[in-house]
Structure formats: C-alpha cells, structure tokens
C-alpha cells in the first residue's frame, strides 16, 4: 500500500496520466515500505524497455515540482538505472499506474 492520502494519490495519478499515459509506474521507498513522514518524498520508477524521452522526463519532473503536493516527487527512468538498483527496488515497489 502506498502511504498517501487518496486526494494526493489521485493528483499523482493525474500527472502521470498526462505525461506518461502508456507507461507502468511503480512507487518505492518509504512511502511503500513504511516509515514515511508527512513530508517524506515519493519515489517513482517509470517502467519500460525504451528510455523515456528526456523532454518527457523533464516535463514530468516539472509537473510534480509545480504541483501543490506537500512533498517532493523523485522520478527515475527504469532504462537509466543499473540492474542492481532495479532488483533492489523490485522487491518493494507497488504499481501506481
């Protein structure tokens, strides 16, 4: 379960649907494994074999920064991380889209 109030979770989903509608996205980190504080960041992994175009990645990050979410959202593109990082995240991730 992702530790976010439903209105904030829906806002995250709206941003994801706008910028990466065809990608699976998973949350990981303290918001999934527990121990998150109200202002803890939300870590998101955008899944896909092909790299997310950099312009799309930047626009997605900007959309989260410009939102009124009371916490930071860190976005990671699966194709740009090491297999070791992805293996660690895979054990704790929960799909958000």
Catalytic residue among 3, 22, 43, 62: 43
Q: What confidence score (pLDDT) does residue 14 get?
A: 98
**Who wins on pLDDT, 63 or 84?**
63
Over the stretch 11-58, which tens digit does the pLDDT of each residue have?
999 999 999 999 999 999 999 988 888 788 999 999 998 999 999 999
Predicted pLDDT of residue 28: 95
One DSSP character per residue, 6-40 reads HHHHHHHHHHHHHH-TTS-EEEESHHHHS---TT-
DSSP state of 51: P
- Is 41 a known active-site residue? yes
Q: What is the predicted pLDDT for the residue at 87?
A: 86
Q: Which residues lie closer than 8 Å to 10 by C-beta, 6 or more apart?
A: none
Domains of the chain are 6-95 (3.30.460.10)
**How far is 2 from 33, CA to CA, in rounded Å?**
8
To the query of whether residue 43 is one of the catalytic residues in this protein, the response is yes
Give the pairing type, strands 42-46 and 73-77. parallel
Among candidate residues 3, 22, 41, 74, the one labeled active-site is 41
Question: Can you give the pTM of this predicted structure?
Answer: 0.91
**pLDDT for the residue numbered 36:** 80
Percent residues over pLDDT 70 in the chain: 100
């Amino acid at each position: 379960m992702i530790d976010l109030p439903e209105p904030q979770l829906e806002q995250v989903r709206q941003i994801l649907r706008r910028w990466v509608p065809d990608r699976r996205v998973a949350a990981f980190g303290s918001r999934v494994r527990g121990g998150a504080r109200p202002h803890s960041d939300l870590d998101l992994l955008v899944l896909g074999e092909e790299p997310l175009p950099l312009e799309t990645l930047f626009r997605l990050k900007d959309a989260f920064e410009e939102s009124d979410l009371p916490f930071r959202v860190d976005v990671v593109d699966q194709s740009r991380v090491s297999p070791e990082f992805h293996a660690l995240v895979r054990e704790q991730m929960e799909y958000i889209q």
